[in-house]
Amino acid sequence: MKSVVITGSTRGIGYGLADSFLALGCVVTVSGRSSTSVQKTVTQLSSTYQPDSLFGHPCDVTRFEQVQGLWDKAYNHFGKVDIWVNNAGIGHPQLEFRTESSEEIRAVVETNILGTMYGARVALRGMLEQGFGSLYNMEGLGSDGRKVRGLTLYGSTKSCIRYLTDALAEEVLGTGVIVGALSPGMVVTDLLIGRYESGSQDWEGAKRIFNILADRVETVTPWLAQKVMTNNKNGMRIKWMTRGKVAGRFLAASFRKRDLFEGLE
């Protein structure tokens, strides 16, 4: 029975991962910034899974002492941490970088970069001490070097995460601990669609692309969780949307109509 900790797991991909790992028989520690959201998540998941397979603890990943507290609480509750997923992250409206406020820049950088670094530091120290464990960082737009106008800030943070993951994988060689990355592709969450105004011209254009390339949380996260559970290779990048799959989606788009947003708008 694996013990899994997921930051930012009260909604979106993080929640989907928690649900998927529980379905695979793991025990899971869920976390979010507020006690209310964490308790709500634990209650929701407990309606499907055994309550003793779940533990919740609030954590602001931009506060190192809270990240350390998340490890300590999860470790004390379940006796070990086999898998730690640095999932917490935030996006921003699609804007030219020069128009971003200093507050927005700080918030995105602190959550996406500092939060991931704090999680990695805490998890690796704990895993090296217990002698085993797997750390996974969540990649996103920018991790593969692609640039999208208006997403310079977010993409820069994910580019940093790519380097961090690869460098940490080198650091843990021969230790019994592995480091990897999760690349979920486009997933229909607030992070993806929250920057658009429903009904706007930009949204209608983006929606056409999303209906070709994106997927819902419940499609992607079970696959990611299964791959994490079976992986024992250090430096592995678990990638949902491959180049071949992208090409296939575009080829099929003319006769395969998808509406991922039915009931969501």
The dihedral sign for the CA sequence 58, 43, 8, 122: positive
CB-CB contact of 85 with 67 (8 Å): no
**What is the rounded CA–CA span in Å between residue 151 and residue 149?**
6
CB-CB contact of 85 with 184 (8 Å): no
Establish whether 154 is a catalytic residue.
Answer: yes
Contacts 24+ apart (CB under 8 A), 64-72: 64/118, 64/121, 64/122, 67/7, 67/115, 67/118, 67/119, 67/122, 68/122, 70/5, 70/7, 70/29, 70/31, 70/122, 71/5, 71/122, 71/123, 71/126
Active-site residue among 15, 136, 154, 163?
A: 154
User: Strand order of the sheet with strand 3-6?
Assistant: 54-56, 27-30, 3-6, 83-86, 133-138, 177-183, 237-239
Query: Which residues participate in catalysis according to the annotation?
Result: 154
